[in-house]
Every structure is written in structure tokens, then in C-alpha cells.
A and B are shown apart, each in its own frame.
Chain A
Amino acid sequence: MRYLTRRLGFYLVAFWVSVTLNFMLPRFMPGDPVSRMMARSTNQLSSDQIVQLQRLFGLDDRPLWQQYVSYLDDMIHGRMGVSISRFPTPVVEVIGSQIGWTLLLGGTSLVIAALVGNLLGIVAAWRRGGWIDSFLPPVLIFVGSFPYFWLAMGALWVFGLSLGWFPIRHAFDDGLQPGLSPEFLGSVATHLFLPALTIVLVSIGGWMLGMRNTMIATNSEDYITMAQAKGLRPSRIIFRYAARNAMLPAVTSFGMSLGFVVGGALLTETVFAYPGVGYQLLAAVQGLDYPLMQGLFLIITSAVLVANFLVDIVYVRLDPRVRVS
């Protein structure tokens, strides 16, 4: 368990770095975008809210270390101020109402891309020179070369606007009551399809190539030769012996790629007006909503850190060697 404790410590440091970055940016950067934002919106802010925002962005006269201590305290307790673009909703509530959609979109596409991509990689490595091995990698690299948002635009234009097969915006049909009704769930699924598809298409090539290359390296290990000498069935060698080992780096990169998928999901959401945090991030950028931007950054980062810790726990289950060391 020492391994997990170490990892946990590392994630806490990463979290602290993010909070500190948030603290420093408005205080040490040239120009003063926050004052401008405050000036524009003073008439709608209550005096309490103004004081809170001043504390958050360092516009009060307390010494820096006091500001820092109270900032850390505010962040740990989720006091992130009010959103300017969605006034007067507190930042935490704005994010809370939307992060679910991002988790749904990001999670679905990440799991599908990783599963399918890794399987393709396994098959490609085993059937070296087969059509999956020779044809798919360049095609997937090509598709993966497009920016997430551009592919989203293309998908939206072709399948949404021209062919009309899929809805082009939002997470479910207007006028539907959110709930567990089949109608609502169906609507969620059809709205999810195109955004998820674009993320899967862009990211699947990386998974496939990564898995293929590790599988090829694993395949020349002695224990694979030994497994073959033992006369095991190919399927058992592939999955039980080779893929089981080649999976380990894939699990690590699963955690690492969470950050990229979040980024991709953010951009994809803006194209489909999908009501997740990415769409909100765009709104925050356009509305010069600094409290919301900072809150989004911190929440998204925390989510990625937590997910990585979960991946570490899975990794420990998969690799007996880290259990002892």
C-alpha cells in the first residue's frame, strides 16, 4: 500500500499546484482583467459578492500570505464566488449542474475508444501484416490528425444538418422531463451519439497504435515463446499471456489520457452546444467570467486527479509486482 500512499501524496501536490496557480494568475499577471470585469458588473453584484470576489482575486489590501491562507481555505470549502455570466448562481452550482453531462460524454467515449482501440491493437499485433495491421493505422492516424472540434463540425454538418440523422445540439430534446423514462434515455442516447463518435474517432488511433506497439514488444518476451512451446491455444496466449501484460502501460496511459479526453470533450461540447463544463468554459471565456473559468479549471483538474487515483488502484490489482514494492 506504500505505492498508493505515495501516489495519493503526489495527487495532493498536483492539486495544491493547481490551486496555487489559480491564486497567482490574477495577482501576478500584467494587466488587470479582473478589475475590468468587476467594473462592468458592479451594478448587478451585491456588496457581499463584491467583497468575496475581491478576496478571491486579490483586490483587497491584506498581505499576500493572508490572502493565500484564506484562498486555500475558500477553495477547500468550495467557496469559489459567483458566476458573472450566469449571475447570480454560485460557480460551484453552475459546475455541479453540468459536470454530469461532461462525465457522461467523456466517460462513454473514453471507455469505447480505449476498449475498441486496444482490441484492434491486440489483433493487429497478433496478425502482423494482416489488413487490420496494415490498413487501419494510417487511416486512424489520419482521422486522429483532425482537431477534435473540426471533426465535430464535420460530423454535425454531415450527419446532423445534411442527412438529419442525429440532433445537432443539446443533450436531450427540449420539453422532455429529465427522468428514467425510456423516451428521455433514448433522447439522451441520440444526442450523445455524434459528440461521442467524434471523440472516439480522434482518440482511437492512439490507443490502437500504443497497444499494437507494446504487444509487439511483449510478443518477443521469453514467456510468450514459453507459452507457445507449452502448446497453449492462440487465444489463451494472446489474452492471458500477452495482452494481460501489454495492458499495464495501457492502464497507465488511460489515466494520462484523461486530461486529453477532457480537453477534447470540452471542444466537442462547444460545437454541439452540449451542456457540459466545456460549453460552460466557452461561455465563461466569452463572458469574461473569471471566477467560473478558475472554478472550472480546478474542478476539472480535481476530477482528472481523482480518476487517476482510481486507475492506480486498478493498476495495483493488475500488477503483482507493485503490491510489494
Chain B
Amino acid sequence: MSGPVLEVRDLVVTYTGDVRTTTAVDHVSFSIREREIFGLAGESGCGKSTIANAVMRLLTYPARIDAGSISFGGQDVLGLSAAELRRFRWSQVSMVFQSAMNSLNPVLTIGEQMGDIFTEHTGCTRRSARAQAGELLDLVQIDRARLRSYPHQLSGGMRQRVVIAMAVALRPRLLILDEPTTALDVVVQQEIMAQIAQLQAELGFSVLFITHDMSLMVELSDQMAVMYAGRFVEQGPSAALMHHPVHPYTRALMNAFPPLTGPRVPLAGLAEGVRFRDIGDLAEVAPGRWAAPLSDADRVRFEKEMSA
């Protein structure tokens, strides 16, 4: 197998506030291989989306990348010029945002918003861009007549499928899915995920999959990482993390959703008030399995809280 598609090393992202600066992503490293689905799990606000935006260099003030490297297929993403960056975006990495309603412009038609991907990246005519946009809609089983529709005229699931179709328009090597189904109801969620899985099988892109839905993540991803307060606390093959979580936070997450099969077990989340501080660097606990060591203070507090 060739080298990784995406390689992130020691990434640090901070948000500058008036009073203090917050580190949203703190020395995070991971890589995604060809055709691999890499899951990134963690609670809201732990820095998952910030990583996604950093990979596409979409972070703007007050967020900034303070240290680390992001390399894509051997290319240094952080060193790209403005013009190179524009070519890089969407043709190499594309992204499906959390809310399709908000990521589609309400006053432009679907056709215009799909078409300009082609006119801008391939310099083709509007007519041909429109034809290609039509083909994309075929790909996600939406009627071509919808090209003339405005976002508010489509259902939530349709809008998300349009956005997914747009994401694969230029056959990128990596697709970032930033909680792609959070805003949708369960039935539509299933459809969308099946759609993505089918497209991935057809087109063979790698996926960076961000969610806080652990069951979905374990089901779909090959490798995964668990993030807490800007730090990775555990990383490794999804099945291994699922069955043998090392870090207490991972354990709590894995226990926070009901298993689909097997006997009924009571759910046990993270007890109220449990916080981890000073999360150390990941250490290899088994081949390909990494976990952050628990500081002594955290261990003491954690055990006390959990037994209480």
C-alpha cells in the first residue's frame, strides 16, 4: 500500500479571545490511508470540526494554526499559496457540512451551486457544467429537474444528498464528513449513510468521518480516534477500541450507547462532574493501539467519582 493520503502531525490550533487564548486542538497527530474510513469521535466542542477545517485551511480569525504540519499525498497543505489552495480544495479534499440547509446558499439554485464547481475548477462552459451537475444528481437518485430548485424547496434529506453529490463532483481523494446526519431524522440518516457507503465503494475515496454517534462510527470506520478537550485520548482500529477501550473516557463513550445485539446491559455514561486534566501524549499500548496515560490526579478523582 502506498503512503497515507492525509498525514497530520502535531497540529495545534488556538482561538484568540480578548482575555485569554484557548487551545482547541492540542498536538494532534493521525494519518488516513487510501480508501480508509477514519472516525473522529468526541463530545461537542472537543475540537473535531476544528481539525476538519484545519485540513481544508478554512480556519479564520480568531482561530489559527499555531504549530504542526498537514500533508496531503505528500504535499504540504499549510504551505500552499492562495491559488494552489483554491485548486487543492474540493478537487483533492471535499467536505460535507453538518447542516445542509445552512451550507446551501438560499438564494441560488441547486444547479448554480453545483455548476460553479465545474466552471471554476475545470473552466468548462456553463452548459457543460449544468450537464455534469445533472449527472451528479443521477448519482444520488434525485430528479434532474431539481437543478432549477432553490434549497428551501427540497426536503432535508434531499438537500444533504445534493451536498454529498457536490462533494464527490471532482472525484476527490478524501471526503470529510462533519456530522453529516446530525440534523436529520433516523430514517433519513440511514439512507444518507448508505448513500455514502455506496459512493465510497464506487469511487474509492478515503473518508474523515466526524460524529458523536458512537454506534454509527464503530459500524462504519476502520480506524478511529477519540478526542477530549482538544487532545486525542485513544486511537486505533475501531473494533479494538470498541471491545477493549483503554482510556476511561473511551470506556464511558462506548458504554453510552446500547449495543445493537446481545443481552441488555444498563447504560453507564461519564458520571456528572468527571473532568480530565493534563492529558498526556498518546503512548502505544499494543501494536497500532494508542492511548493517553491517565495522570495520577485524574485517576484518583475518576475512581472516586465512578465508585460513588
Chain A–chain B contact at Cβ < 8 A: yes
Residue B108 lies at the interface, judged by CB distance under 8 Å to chain A? yes
A230 and B90 contact, CB distance less than 8 A: yes
State whether A320 and B58 are in contact (beta carbons under 8 Å apart), knowing that A228-B89, A229-B89, A229-B90 are contacts in the complex: no
Residue B290 lies at the interface, judged by CB distance under 8 Å to chain A? no
Residue B103 lies at the interface, judged by CB distance under 8 Å to chain A? yes
Residue A297 lies at the interface, judged by CB distance under 8 Å to chain B? no
CB-nearest residue of chain A relative to B56? A229
Docked complex: B78-120 residues within 8 A CB-CB of A: 85-91, 94-95, 97-99, 102-108, 116-117, 120
Residue A233 lies at the interface, judged by CB distance under 8 Å to chain B? yes
Neighbouring B residues of A228 by C-beta, 8 Å: 58, 89
Interface segment, one of A151-159, A190-198, A236-244, A301-309: A236-244
B105 and A223 contact, CB distance less than 8 A: yes
Contacting B107 at CB < 8 Å: which of A128, A222, A226, A245? A245
Give the complex CA separation of A25 and B87 in angstroms.
68
Residue B276 lies at the interface, judged by CB distance under 8 Å to chain A? no
State whether A230 and B89 are in contact (beta carbons under 8 Å apart), knowing that A222-B102, A222-B103, A236-B120 are contacts in the complex: yes
B116 and A230 contact, CB distance less than 8 A: yes
A226 and B103 contact, CB distance less than 8 A: yes
Residue A225 lies at the interface, judged by CB distance under 8 Å to chain B? yes
A320 and B152 contact, CB distance less than 8 A: yes
CB-nearest residue of chain B relative to A233? B120
Residue A232 lies at the interface, judged by CB distance under 8 Å to chain B? yes
A233 and B86 contact, CB distance less than 8 A: yes
CB-nearest residue of chain A relative to B98? A222
Give the complex CA separation of A240 and B152 in angstroms.
18
Neighbouring A residues of B56 by C-beta, 8 Å: 229
Residue A231 lies at the interface, judged by CB distance under 8 Å to chain B? yes
Minimal beta-carbon separation of B277 from chain A (angstroms): 31
Contact with B along A75-109 (1 / 0, CB 8 A): 00000000000000000000000000000000000
Residue B275 lies at the interface, judged by CB distance under 8 Å to chain A? no
Contacting B105 at CB < 8 Å: which of A128, A233, A245, A324? A245
State whether A231 and B90 are in contact (beta carbons under 8 Å apart), knowing that A226-B97, A321-B152 are contacts in the complex: yes
Neighbouring B residues of A232 by C-beta, 8 Å: 86, 116, 120
Residue A221 lies at the interface, judged by CB distance under 8 Å to chain B? yes
State whether A321 and B95 are in contact (beta carbons under 8 Å apart), knowing that A223-B105, A231-B121 are contacts in the complex: no
Chain B: number of interface residues, binned into ranges: 20 to 34
Chain A: number of interface residues, binned into ranges: 20 to 34
State whether A231 and B99 are in contact (beta carbons under 8 Å apart), knowing that A241-B105, A318-B107, A320-B106 are contacts in the complex: no
A221 and B116 contact, CB distance less than 8 A: no
A231 and B120 contact, CB distance less than 8 A: yes
- How many interface contacts (CB-CB < 8 Å) are there between A and B? 76
A229 and B58 contact, CB distance less than 8 A: yes
Docked complex: A247-288 residues within 8 A CB-CB of B: 248
Minimal beta-carbon separation of B180 from chain A (angstroms): 13
B95 and A223 contact, CB distance less than 8 A: no
Contact with A along B35-58 (1 / 0, CB 8 A): 000000000000000000100101
Neighbouring B residues of A128 by C-beta, 8 Å: 61
Q: Report which residue of B102, B107, B166 has the largest number of chain A beta carbons within 10 angstroms of its beta carbon.
A: B107
Residue B15 lies at the interface, judged by CB distance under 8 Å to chain A? no
CB-nearest residue of chain A relative to B53? A225
Minimal beta-carbon separation of A247 from chain B (angstroms): 9
Residue B30 lies at the interface, judged by CB distance under 8 Å to chain A? no
State whether A221 and B107 are in contact (beta carbons under 8 Å apart), knowing that A226-B97, A228-B89, A230-B89 are contacts in the complex: no
Minimal beta-carbon separation of A251 from chain B (angstroms): 12
Neighbouring A residues of B105 by C-beta, 8 Å: 223, 227, 241, 244-245
Minimal beta-carbon separation of A109 from chain B (angstroms): 28
Contact with B along A115-144 (1 / 0, CB 8 A): 000000000000010000000000000000
Give the complex CA separation of A324 and B90 in angstroms.
33
Residue A183 lies at the interface, judged by CB distance under 8 Å to chain B? no
Minimal beta-carbon separation of B271 from chain A (angstroms): 35
CB-nearest residue of chain A relative to B100? A222
CB-nearest residue of chain B relative to A244? B107
A231 and B58 contact, CB distance less than 8 A: no
Q: Report which residue of A128, A226, A318 has the largest number of chain B beta carbons within 10 angstroms of its beta carbon.
A: A226
Give the complex CA separation of A121 and B152 in angstroms.
28
Q: Report which residue of A230, A240, A241, A320 has the largest number of chain B beta carbons within 10 angstroms of its beta carbon.
A: A230
Minimal beta-carbon separation of B63 from chain A (angstroms): 12
Residue A60 lies at the interface, judged by CB distance under 8 Å to chain B? no
Minimal beta-carbon separation of B174 from chain A (angstroms): 12
Minimal beta-carbon separation of A249 from chain B (angstroms): 13
CB-nearest residue of chain A relative to B89? A231
Residue A319 lies at the interface, judged by CB distance under 8 Å to chain B? yes
Minimal beta-carbon separation of A129 from chain B (angstroms): 9
Minimal beta-carbon separation of B268 from chain A (angstroms): 35
B95 and A229 contact, CB distance less than 8 A: yes
A245 and B121 contact, CB distance less than 8 A: no
Neighbouring A residues of B91 by C-beta, 8 Å: 231
28 contacts between A and B (CB under 8 A): A221-B102, A222-B97, A222-B103, A223-B102, A226-B103, A226-B163, A227-B105, A228-B58, A229-B56, A229-B58, A229-B89, A230-B94, A230-B117, A231-B85, A231-B86, A231-B120, A231-B121, A232-B116, A233-B86, A233-B120, A236-B116, A236-B120, A240-B108, A244-B105, A244-B107, A248-B107, A321-B152, A324-B152
Given contacts A222-B98, A231-B87, A231-B88, could you give 11 more A-B pairs where the C-beta distance is less than 8 Å? Answer: A222-B97, A222-B103, A226-B104, A229-B89, A230-B90, A230-B120, A231-B91, A232-B116, A233-B86, A236-B120, A321-B107
**6 nearest A-B pairs in the assembled complex, by CB-CB distance:** A231-B89, A222-B102, A226-B103, A223-B105, A320-B150, A231-B86
B residues near A (Cβ < 8 Å) are 53, 56, 58, 61, 85-91, 94-95, 97-99, 102-108, 116-117, 120-121, 150, 152-153, 163, 166
